[in-house]
């Protein structure tokens, strides 16, 4: 009788870590006096919770996105377009047709900009992980893909691509941190 090479399935399953909490942080800096920290936490395959604390923003709504690249060699410009692994149009976080990186607007007051949100399209591991990508806070309100798309180019009206959110005021790389 030969020895069993592997433990039975019931024993192997115990070795799998199924619902580990994952945590990431993004330290945003820029040239416009805007800065802050955004943290991301995810339990298992659940939604990712996002908490932000930004300073230096004008009061009002500001577009907030995950951009494709964690490359800040040319400031926030080199972070590329919105993270869009499914090849969709720009939209609101609640839209079916949206970029994964479309997190909508955050609201600043004279006291600052503290926000919390939750999203199911920005996991911290797997194929569509946002680790190593960038988060970007913008000058203007994101029109959520419902605005003017009549001009192409980086200075044009490009609601379906950018939400016409204007300049990239601050950004940072999304990096793993101890959970």
Helix (H, G, I), strand (E, B) or coil at 13: helix
Binding of Zn ion by 143 (CB under 5 A): no
Which of 68, 102, 141, 143 is in the footprint of Zn ion by CB under 5 A? 102
- Nearer to Cu ion by Cβ, of 22 and 133: the residue is 133
Helix (H, G, I), strand (E, B) or coil at 9: helix
Contact region with Zn ion (CB under 5 A), list: 46-54, 56-64, 90-98, 148-156? 90-98
Residues 18-37 that bind Cu ion (CB under 5 A): none
Which of 22, 62, 65, 90 is in the footprint of Cu ion by CB under 5 A? 65
Tell me how many helices (H) and strands (E) the chain has: 2, 9
* Residue 144 zone, left/alpha/beta (φ > 0; ψ -120 to 50; rest): left
- Nearer to Zn ion by Cβ, of 99 and 168: the residue is 99
Which of 62, 82, 138, 168 is in the footprint of Zn ion by CB under 5 A? 82
Nearest to 35 by CA among 57, 58, 61, 4: 57
Nearest to 36 by CA among 56, 60, 64, 62: 56
Binding site for Zn ion (CB under 5 A): 82, 90, 99, 102
């Amino acid at each position: 009788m030969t020895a069993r090479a592997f433990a039975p399935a019931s024993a192997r399953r115990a070795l799998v870590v199924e619902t580990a909490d994952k945590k990431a942080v993004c330290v945003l800096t820029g040239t416009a006096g805007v800065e802050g920290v955004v943290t991301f936490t995810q339990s298992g395959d659940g939604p990712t919770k996002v908490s932000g604390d930004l300073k230096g923003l004008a009061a009002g709504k500001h577009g907030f996105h995950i951009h494709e690249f964690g490359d800040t060699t040319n400031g926030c410009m080199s972070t590329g377009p919105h993270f869009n692994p499914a090849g969709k149009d720009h939209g609101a976080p609640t839209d079916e047709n949206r970029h994964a990186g479309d997190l909508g607007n955050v609201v600043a007051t004279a006291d600052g900009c503290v926000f919390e949100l939750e999203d199911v399209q920005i996991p911290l591991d797997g194929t569509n992980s946002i680790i190593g990508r960038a988060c970007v806070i913008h000058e203007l309100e994101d029109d959520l893909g419902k605005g003017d798309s009549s001009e192409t180019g980086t200075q044009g009206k490009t609601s379906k691509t950018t939400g016409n959110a204007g300049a990239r005021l601050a950004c940072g790389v999304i990096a793993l941190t101890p959970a």
